[in-house]
Amino acid sequence: MRDREPQLKITQEEVVDNQTTLRIELEEADLNPYLDQGYRRLAPQISLPGFRKGKVPRHIVEGFMGRESLLNEVLDNMVFEVTSKAIEEQEIDSAGVPKIEDLELDPVSFTATIALRPEVELGDYKAIRVPYEAEEVTDELVSKRIDNIRESLGTWETVERAPQMGDLLNLDARGEIEGEEFWSREDGVLYLDEEGSVPVTGFPQAMVGIEPGQETDLTLSIPEDFRDASIAGKEASFTVTVKEVRERSLPELNDEFAQGLPDGYENLEALQNAVREGMTTDAEARLEQEYETEVVQTLIDEATITIPPVMLENETNRVLNTQEQFLERANIRRDDYLRSIGKTEEEAEQEAEEEADQRIRRTFALDKVSELENIEVSEQEIDERFNEMYAGQRMRRQERRSRREPLSDMLKYEKTVALLVETAKSDPEGQTAEEQPESNPQDVQTQEGDAQDDE
């Protein structure tokens, strides 16, 4: 016999800020299916005299461990199912995950704050036009890229002179602030980079001209905007002994250099052409990404979207949780991370909320465009993308289904963005840059002649 559908007592508050709150209570008789689920999870772990392990009847387990113990085993699933049913009964057009509060088990009741689907009013998205200007790959840029290759193949050779920018130093150093040591290196290595700021801004520059082998004292003022807020704006005293100075020796730039590279170019000119081609491809890809971002941002900026506070809170928590997981994997303490970027916890949370706000606006603005433009994704398109992404991988049916489901939204997003980009590149009459006819000098002269005749 099937369990009956839960009979819920629901009290709904009025909609405020595009969200509503439900107070939900279950009748005692409706708890049986969930108590059974909790019992089945706990039973295999329980041993009592006179019963085989896992065979203790439910009423004895419930009496021994308490009714709440059984419910706690299935609490998340129960609240999810009951909330979903309440949303359906109240005919709420919800979006996102409800916020559950005030949970009680005797009787079972709780409050669910539910975000309604954001109301979206788009601007004239078909009128969005963004200049598309290709980045020129100059001879200077090509030369810089080749110089980088030379530097990567260079060797470090000891020199008998004072340090210069670009050198690699071996040194002993100690830094103090207000009498407390905050940084030290024994037989350490330091690269003198104009953009460097280790241990503080200005330290690499201060190494230039120091006499090797002699202990040198120096004082530096740390900028107010230094990344480590705990020492920003303070004075640091350093004691430094430069033990060795090494300069980079670069290979000569000629045909032999080009031929000796892994790809074995015929000569220097062939290397330059290959570098230019690669940089042009990279520049085009970068431009496309930046252009796409600017077009979508224009769409968002011109749209009016009412975001429910509970939806923003949930997405902000998701952003912060993602950050926390990254820091854990990298074995970095959060307070150390915040200190390194010069931000307080409150500032970091504010940034996370701003990012969450943009994510939500982007999602629903694009969703509205796809709705208005009737953009759809076929099963064949999903299959093709799935096969591209997971070619040759064996997976169970459930895993296959779970990986396949998000592809529909992803492909719809891509199609919608592609439509917006195509429109943004076109002229007001709807022609794309590729479709616009080139000016004919003879036509221009004819038009000028006609104008003179009119005079």
d(CA 154, CA 252): 10
Contact (CB, 8 A) for 245 and 158:
yes
> Which CATH architecture fits 155-249?
Roll (3.10)
Tell me what pLDDT residue 342 has: 81
Tell me what pLDDT residue 118 has: 92
Residue type, 248: R
Name beta bridge partners: 21.
113
Q: Quick one: DSSP state of residue 192?
A: -
Using the structure block, give the residue that is written with the tokens 């433009």: 373
Name beta bridge partners: 215.
241
3-state secondary structure of 105: strand
- pLDDT tens by residue, 370-410: 999 999 999 999 999 999 998 888 888 888 888 888 899 99
Q: Label residue 200 exposed, middle or buried (CB < 10 Å: 0-12, 13-18, 19+).
A: buried
Tell me what pLDDT residue 448 has: 44
Tell me what pLDDT residue 442 has: 44
Identical fold at 8-117 and 155-249?
no
Tell me what pLDDT residue 295 has: 97
Residue type, 215: E
DSSP string, 240-259: EEEEEEEEEEPPP-SHHHHH
Output Rg (C-alpha) for the chain, integer angstroms. 33
Tell me what pLDDT residue 441 has: 41
Tell me what pLDDT residue 61 has: 65
Contact (CB, 8 A) for 265 and 279:
no
Tell me what pLDDT residue 1 has: 37
Which residues in the chain come in under a pLDDT of 50? 1-2, 434, 437-455
Tell me what pLDDT residue 5 has: 60
Domain ranges of the chain: 8-117, 121-154+262-306, 155-249
| Opening angle at CA 90, ends 88 and 91, nearest 5 | 60
Pairing verdict, β 180-191 and 235-249:
unpaired
- pLDDT tens by residue, 151-188: 999 999 999 999 999 999 999 999 999 999 999 999 99
Chosen CATH of 8-117 out of 2.60.40.10, 2.40.100.10, 3.40.50.150, 3.30.70.1050: 3.30.70.1050
Inter-CA distances, 291 with 122, 143, 178, 298, 430, Å: 20, 27, 49, 11, 18
3-state secondary structure of 121: strand
Six-digit token pair at 247? 């300069």
